Amino acid sequence: MNRRAFLTGLGAVIAAARGAGAQQAGKVYRVGFLSNGWSIASQQVVAAFRQGLRELAWVEGQNIVIQYRWAEGRSDRLPDLAAELVRLRVDVLVASGAAATRAAKEATTTIPIVSVAVQDPVALGSVRSLARPGGNITGPTLTGGLAIAGKQLELLKETVTGVSRVAVLWNPANPMLLQQLRDTEIAARSLNVQLQPVVEARSPDEFDRAFSRIIRGRAEALLVSTDPVFAGQATQLANLAARNRLPAMYGLRRHVEAGGLIAYGANELDVWRRAATYVDKILKGAKPAELPVEQPTKFELIINIKTAKSLGLTIPPSLLLRADQVLE
């Protein structure tokens, strides 16, 4: 190839690249956001997700538009909401939790899905493996497994001296909570803790009846499973625990901020900031099948001293020193 031909070809490549860049810069991408929770209760989560996007130069109203859909605790609404987002032809669909991920998976096999805060995406069937998801789904998890279940019970025993009977509140509509429940049962046996028969609640309407069962079972403490329905009604659950003078352990910070006693688990807001990186990579051309599923690296212990005092509990100094945050 002579010099003139080379320069002509190079100029054509540069011009094409500039044209593609200009077209990319002018495009406004659509992101679908699907959750089984409540918009008001999820403000911190949304703020963390949007912050993560802004840090990557994605600004709502400029180069990205987010279409939010909230099921408000009614998982039966999720398939219709997922289908609605698919009809809007979103460029990527963000699904919060197992129920939303399952609905999104059933709604599309072509639109990339960022699944966030699922306990075990392999068990759910949304990915083939953490390292190689395959298909159109990937994203950061809240997986803690047996180690987290054991730590939660261990911390609860340390907080409530002499506790031996612990109730577990779970949502049978969440397919991922069954494994969480099994992990808790294994941990309870190793810690010599008797688990009261598991109490079910699918929606806030069932909370009062669930707590009545817990009290009738003479539980000395409560472990609340990590679930979008429970997270969306953190204040109601904290108030019920306080009214029944029941020390409770949770998996998310937001429960303690709402008045719950203690929480230990993954840093939820960090997980959502990481979710933004998946959206960024996908919008820039990466394929979900080739993006490994990330497990959380930040776990936190949060304690509410005011709640402890109202329950007549004295938190051991050693536990306070280990806490990432103590709310007063």
Domain check: are 311 and 164 in the same one? yes
What pLDDT score was predicted for residue 145?
62
pLDDT digits (tens, 9 = 90+) for 100-129: 999 999 999 999 999 998 888 988 899 999
Residues 171 and 310 in one domain: yes
Task: Identify the CA nearest to 34 among candidates 87, 70, 72.
Answer: 70
> Which CATH number fits the domain that encloses residue 306?
3.40.50.2300
Tokens for 216? 């009738």
Q: Are residues 186 and 306 in the same domain?
A: yes
Tell me which of 17-21, 90-94, 231-235, 258-262 is least confident. Answer: 17-21
Same domain, 138 and 256: no
Do 96 and 164 lie in one domain? The reply is no
Whether 290 shows a pLDDT value over 90: the answer reads yes
Closest listed residue to residue 314, CA positions, set 322, 303, 325: 303
The confidence score (pLDDT) of residue 53 equals 98
Please check whether residues 244 and 277 belong to one and the same domain.
no
**252 pLDDT more than 60:** yes
Domains: count for the chain = 2
What dihedral angle (degrees, nearest 10) is formed by the CA atoms of 180, 181, 187, 188? 160
Residue 314 lies in domain: 145-267+300-327
Is 157 part of any domain? yes
Residues 239 and 259 in one domain: yes
Rounded CA separation 49/47 (Å): 5
Rounded mean pLDDT, 252-258: 95
* Residue pLDDT, tens place only, 132-184: 999 999 999 986 666 788 899 999 999 998 899 999 999 988 877 877 788 88
Query: Do residues 304 and 258 share a domain?
Result: yes
| pLDDT on residue 12 | 43
CA 90 to chain centre: 21
